[in-house]
């Protein structure tokens, strides 16, 4: 058996392989509510053969949406709409389904990417944004509102309520979004956190709010289901958040019962200078795994089966998480299994589509949900 297609236990779930579909924003919701697009899109991802699918960044309050078209999980309507999409995913495959919960912080109230992604003016449909400090993402943008004590409680409680909704919906796991320049990352980085109270200044103080959010979510989500955190290992800027601080944060999370760390990078400031190349973020995941002793997800330009298999086989990470590669080729795991001589689950309805040269690729046991 190849490393990539070996099963692994994560809390109470046995994941059928090490391939994870990364959370990928679709910007197709209305008022946070999922619709037919999400049902079709997520059903397709569930058919991919990946062991785990993470639903896109889902806002814990309306003000925490990146754009007006983001998914949300903050009222009964958003919960009911996600239930429909989740039920469709369960029909087509038995992969694990996680949800990424987040708050966009100062990067909220933005246009969708294909409309430029810039901050939306208040008189054009934008809304008040919130952050650790009144420091805008980009020079010339309006400043966010610095969160006061009641604001911190409001947002922590919003994460908790979203986690309770995720439990009711039956999600197999939660990933908290503390990366890519969104609110929890903004607290971590000294470039965006200029506070002078207990939530700013030293590394321990900057970690305080993200750790409080994690503890609160972990406390209300079932103990046999995993809760992990996505981090940006570095801001790619002098004086910003970096790998050594990420490792400290990971160790603090480990002491509080985190189940995995999804290791990405960047997104905090537009001046970042990222050294991009195949697998360019894998060393970050490897360092976190080694130093903090936590299962990690590796991401970033992982595009072929041999590369992904080597990452797992060489112990650099425990999972590989794919985004753009899966959007371009939703059957990437099938092709990877064929390339590595592994077998993979596929619905019986698709078995007759298997080319003769790949005979034996599909496992042919009939199981519930197939």
- Cβ neighbours of residue 192 under 8 Å, at least 6 residues apart? 106, 131, 132, 133, 135, 181, 185, 186, 268, 269
Angle at CA of residue 330, ends 325 and 331, nearest 5°: 105
Task: Choose the catalytic residue: 27, 182, 199, 280.
Answer: 182
Q: Can 182 be counted among the known catalytic residues?
A: yes
- Cβ neighbours of residue 91 under 8 Å, at least 6 residues apart? 43, 369
- Cβ neighbours of residue 175 under 8 Å, at least 6 residues apart? 23, 54, 98, 99, 100, 101, 227, 228, 229, 230, 262
Residues linked to residue 20 through DSSP beta bridges, in sequence order: 52, 321
Residues 19, 7: Cα–Cα separation, whole Å: 10
Residues linked to residue 119 through DSSP beta bridges, in sequence order: 110
Helix (H) or strand (E) holding 37: helix 36-46
Residue 247: how many CA atoms within 13 Å on its side-chain side? Answer: 13
Q: Looking at the annotation, which residues are catalytic?
A: 182
């Amino acid at each position: 058996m190849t490393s990539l297609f070996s099963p692994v236990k994560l809390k109470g779930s046995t994941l059928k392989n090490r391939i994870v579909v990364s959370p990928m924003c679709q910007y197709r919701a209305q008022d946070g509510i999922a619709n037919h697009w999400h049902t079709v899109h997520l059903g397709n991802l569930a058919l991919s053969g990946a062991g785990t699918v993470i639903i896109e960044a889902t806002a814990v309050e309306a003000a925490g949406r990146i754009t007006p078209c983001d998914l949300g999980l903050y009222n009964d309507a958003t919960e009911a709409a996600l239930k429909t999409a989740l039920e469709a995913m369960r029909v087509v495959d038995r992969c694990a389904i996680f949800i990424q919960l987040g708050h966009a912080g100062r990067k909220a109230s933005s246009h969708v990417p294909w409309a430029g992604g810039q901050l939306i003016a208040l008189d054009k449909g934008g809304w008040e944004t919130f952050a650790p400090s009144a420091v805008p993402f980009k020079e010339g943008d309006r400043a966010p509102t610095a969160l006061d004590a009641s604001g911190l409680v409001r947002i922590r409680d919003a994460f908790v309520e979203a986690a309770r909704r995720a439990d009711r919906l039956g999600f197999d796991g939660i990933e908290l979004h503390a990366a890519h320049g969104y609110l929890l990352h903004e607290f971590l980085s000294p470039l965006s956190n200029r506070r002078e109270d207990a939530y700013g200044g030293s590394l321990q103080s900057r970690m305080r709010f993200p750790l409080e959010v994690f503890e609160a979510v972990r406390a209300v989500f079932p103990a046999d289901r995993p809760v992990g955190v996505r981090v940006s290992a570095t801001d790619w800027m002098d004086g910003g958040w970096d790998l050594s601080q990420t490792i400290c944060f990971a160790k603090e999370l480990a002491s509080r019962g985190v189940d995995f760390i999804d290791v990405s990078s960047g997104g905090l400031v537009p001046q970042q200078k990222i050294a991009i190349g195949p697998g360019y973020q894998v060393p970050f995941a490897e360092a976190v795994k080694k130093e903090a002793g936590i299962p990690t997800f590796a991401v970033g330009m992982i595009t072929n089966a041999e590369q992904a298999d080597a990452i797992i086989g060489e112990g650099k990470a425990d999972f590989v998480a794919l985004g753009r590669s899966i959007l371009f080729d939703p059957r990437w795991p099938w092709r990877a299994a064929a390339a590595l001589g592994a077998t993979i689950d596929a619905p019986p309805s698709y078995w007759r589509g298997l080319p003769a040269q790949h005979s034996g690729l599909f496992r042919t046991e009939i199981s519930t949900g197939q």
